[in-house]
Amino acid sequence: MDVRTTAIPGLLVIQPKVMGDARGFFVETWAEERYVAAGVDGRFVQDNMSRSGRGTLRGLHLQNPHGQGKLVSVVEGTVLDVAVDVRIGSPTFGQHVAVELSANDHKQFWIPAGFAHGFAVTSEHAIFAYKCTDRYYPEHELGIAWDDPDLGIAWPTREPSLSARDKAHARLRDIAPDRLPRYA
């Protein structure tokens, strides 16, 4: 597998080795020893999958406490996947990395705990899969406005399909610092 670092330390783009022939393909999407050696630091305790139509935007979400590291990929379709550093005291606080993920190239994105995460579907539909390092705690969930102008995210649509919950999220600067994770 090929592992690429990003502008924000800790965020990794992973290209697993894909073996294919006329019958189809095979790709190893997780091998603990190899991924840990590459910097994917986490014991996964929950797997999630969602299906969404074109123009759907989910996010930006995080949990604090009980931050979740996420290894994300697309099983079908394409998305623009975004991670925003929201760790108080981080030198890259408020900055983001955006990565196109596609079922065609099997690319994965490692997002450690302490980052807000979201994605927008750019194909007719997408099936999105993610492994999480902690379980979901609804009482600790936080959200940041997808269109927060301070973040400068170039989403592929200006009028996404959003949940009522995602429409109501505050800008990052309006969230009390004690609700956000700390940079270690």
169 is catalytic: no
CA angle, corner 54, sides to 50 and 56, nearest 5?
60
The one catalytic residue in 35, 61, 106, 117 is 61
183 is catalytic: no
Spatial distance between the Cα atoms of 123 and 110, rounded to a whole number of angstroms = 22
Helical H segments across the chain, by residue range: 32-38, 164-167
The one catalytic residue in 106, 117, 130, 169 is 130
Q: Exposed/middle/buried for 91, CB within 10 Å: 0-12, 13-18, 19+?
A: exposed
Cite the active site residues.
61, 130
